[in-house]
Amino acid sequence: MAKIIPKKSISVESNWQKELATSFNDPQKLLKYLNIPVEEQIKNITARSLFPMRVPQHFANLMSKGDTQDPLFKQIFPLYDEFLEDPEYTVDPLLEQETPQQGILHKYQTRALLMVRGGCAVNCRYCFRRHFPYQQNSLNKQGWIEALDYIAQDSKLNEIIYSGGDPLMAKDDFLAWLTKEIEQIPHITRLRMHTRLPVVIPNRIDAQFVKWISQSRLKMIMVLHINHANEIDTKLISKLNLLRENQVTLLNQSVLLAGVNNTAESQIALSERLFEAGVMPYYLHMLDKVKGATHFDVNENQAREIMAEMIKRLPGFLVPKLVREIGGQPGKTPLDLHLHP
């Protein structure tokens, strides 16, 4: 393989990068934009010290002004409850931070996950990797060569997953290079991208992005992360249509979050809205027990009750799998749907 790492782009920033650069990082500025009294949120703002806040303008525009109970606002705004300690909630709930090959998570026999970029366009407060040591898993040129060799030497692998952080934080010239290198490994047939970036900045799906994905021999899958129907607007739908026109399979995974989407009505609305947008519901995750996110937890019986109502009111193809990820397990663990005493 050529393994010539592309040099940093010197081209003018694209629209999505400009939008990223103007994201809200200051909680007080976001509150003022949303017409929420700053003085009522001073205590909550202190939790910013635990995990920085980042919210693109587009995502902020989808929030209801003056409403601290808005389901999008609650996902991204710091809350004093993040200081609560619980021994079940740890900095590494999925046991990912010790990896045999830097930059690669190889938990599943036929799939390997590449930590393409450490940062995200939006910092979700429940993120299971909010304490992940991205700097230790950031690859230099030699690191990428070693990662590609690792993939090439394991013929059991047939799918590579781009993850992070958010892999679409990487520029398209790098993603195109990396994908071309992977294409040269005969046993890899699929490329999956796990991303939230198009949801919070739809302009990330631009002509340059579409160009490199449309030229690949690999089957392309994009797994979006959408938790609430209000996150899907006409601008996002137009970008998703562009991806589907270029044979990208679109799936969604969400997290069941207290106060955000833990009702049957919100989950049904999400599934219906996803289908309108050409996206198939894939997974509904129980919260990963990450330190700082105890207030988002939904107990398993409530999750089962929500699923029972979804099964009653939705066609089977619109019902996501209810799962929990357990560190060290070779795959997602489906929850049985029988109520427990």
- Give CA angle at 104 (90, 207), nearest 5°: 110
pLDDT at 9: 45
pLDDT at 76: 97
The three-state secondary structure class of 339 is coil
* Structure-derived torsion over alpha carbons of residues 55, 166, 93, 137, reported in degrees to the nearest 10: -120
pLDDT at 187: 98
Kindly write down the DSSP assignment for every residue of 171-204, as one continuous string.
-HHHHHHHHHHHHTSTT--EEEEEESHHHH-GGG
**Series of mean pLDDT values for 10-residue runs along the chain (341 residues):** 54 79 98 98 96 96 98 98 89 62 81 91 88 66 91 97 94 96 98 98 97 97 98 98 98 98 98 98 94 94 97 98 80 79 65
